[in-house]
Structure 1
């Protein structure tokens, strides 16, 4: 979910997936074309195959595991296997419990109110502000609260555009 889909990657030049602009210069300039050999080498050690790339993945040492993954990528790329749709949720369809109506900040605490009129309190270090300008992102001016695991103490608020973030947050103590 942080990179482009690997469906259709076989035969494609590295760093060229349509709609993905976050490739490192090293990968874009590598001249690699994704074939089984290059995929295996990448999966084994991305840093060794393309020094200076931005991939944080350390690699897979086990040759059988890599071979299985390359076989799956080949099956998906050739259409023998359908890729499950695991895209991000459509935030425009969020319910009242997720739509944020106000955000107040005081000390080290954010207090959010959602459209169902419930209050949510987060320590500033546990709340992230993100943007999603895609067609599935939230409507302008209607940020969405998304839990990010743990025990309900961490979350993200997703806005439609970066400039909405500062305008939406009020510095006000109860």
Structure 2
């Protein structure tokens, strides 16, 4: 309840009424929304750094199905995502919910907030984002945001069958029979347990830097990582 009081207090101070929000321009709001694409998708259920914004309008805060990385403060908040809540949140997320994990400084311009709220009301409703794509307001890219490309069908030269750590290096073996040694600090081990991740029992190695000497090795589960990566200097 205390978070709801914070919302109401901030909203009153920012002075944007429901009527003013209704005057926001959806097309201009789509331009403001570009800043959100790096962390959010509009496709329902597709969670990235932040939860999906598909179906967010009037959804209870901290309650997107399948998203498990909310801060405790937002998970315990007691309000729906409506005009008042969005106005306060977009003005200053940290002031609204102290301890939120969302890294966003806020939008000081009330007009830009009104436009973005109008956009989110439309895009966050049932089939709203798809209609905006059909009407040419936003690109289809906005639906999935920066969701990683599926790697389940990675070719054999990228499909990792074993990794051996020895000294300060990793030897990476791939399904085509090749192997290469990399400095350990240039290798990042990651997990993608979603449908975009690698096939069970394998990892996938992908380039991860402009210099061409940094790589990510992605596993579909912690079990696969533990099975495929070992501390082994005997086979060097």
TM-score by length of 2: 0.65
Larger radius of gyration: 2
Matched, 1:140 2:140: no
Query: Match of 2:38?
Result: none
| Number of aligned residue pairs | 174
Q: Is the 8 A contact 1:7 1:73 kept in 2?
A: no
Q: How does 1:13-162 map to 2 (within 5 A)?
A: 13-78=60-125, 79=128, 80-82=131-133, 83-86=142-145, 87-162=147-222
**Secondary structure in structure 1 of the residue aligned to 2:144:** coil
Query: Which consecutive residues of structure 1, in runs of 5 or more, have no partner in the other structure?
Result: none
Separation in 2, partners of 1:11, 1:99: 43
- Considering only aligned residues, what root-mean-square deviation do their CA atoms show, in Å? 2.2
Report the Cα offset of residue 17 of structure 1. Answer: 0.6
Separation in 1, partners of 2:162, 2:75: 42
Between the two structures, name the one with larger relative contact order (CA 8 Å, sep ≥ 6): 2
Separation in 2, partners of 1:71, 1:99: 45
Separation in 1, partners of 2:108, 2:178: 48
Query: Which consecutive residues of structure 2, in runs of 5 or more, have no partner in the other structure?
Result: 1-47, 134-141
Separation in 2, partners of 1:69, 1:122: 45
Separation in 1, partners of 2:156, 2:183: 22
| Distance change in 2, residues 1:61/1:141 (3 Å) | same
Q: How does 1:1-20 map to 2 (within 5 A)?
A: 1-20=48-67
Give the strand-richer structure, 1 or 2: 1
Q: Is the 8 A contact 1:104 1:112 kept in 2?
A: yes
Report the Cα offset of residue 120 of structure 1. Answer: 4.4
Q: Is the 8 A contact 2:160 2:173 kept in 1?
A: yes
